């Protein structure tokens, strides 16, 4: 029983970390207009894509881990 609880808590932590990265991605999006004016928008797009990819991957992994613990 403790193993299922640990997996559920780890999954919840991964989901929270992924959500936090998506919020950080929105912060980068907030500063994007100033980057476009200065001509440095490519770096911002790469950073946004990386944060979104890692955030979504963590959320999917966390939801999968939580789902496996509830089925066991």
pLDDT digits (tens, 9 = 90+) for 14-33: 999 999 999 999 999 999 99
Neighbours of 38 (CB within 10 A): 8
Name the pLDDT band for 51 (thresholds 50, 70, 90). very high
pLDDT of residue 67: 81
Stated length of the chain: 72
pLDDT at 41: 87
Per-domain residue ranges of the chain: 2-71
- Quote the pLDDT of residue 72: 63
Burial of 18 (0-12, 13-18, 19+ CB in 10 A): buried
pLDDT of res. 59: 96
- The answer to whether 14 touches 61, Cβ cutoff 8 Å, is yes
Placement of tokens 């999954």 in the chain: 11
Q: How high does pLDDT run on average in the chain?
A: 89
């Amino acid at each position: 029983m403790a193993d299922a609880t640990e997996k559920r808590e780890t999954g919840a932590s991964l989901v929270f970390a992924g959500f936090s990265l998506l919020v950080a991605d929105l912060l980068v999006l907030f500063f994007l207009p100033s980057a476009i004016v200065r001509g440095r928008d490519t770096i911002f797009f790469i950073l946004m894509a990386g944060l979104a990819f890692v955030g979504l991957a963590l959320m999917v992994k966390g939801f999968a881990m939580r789902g496996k613990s509830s089925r066991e």
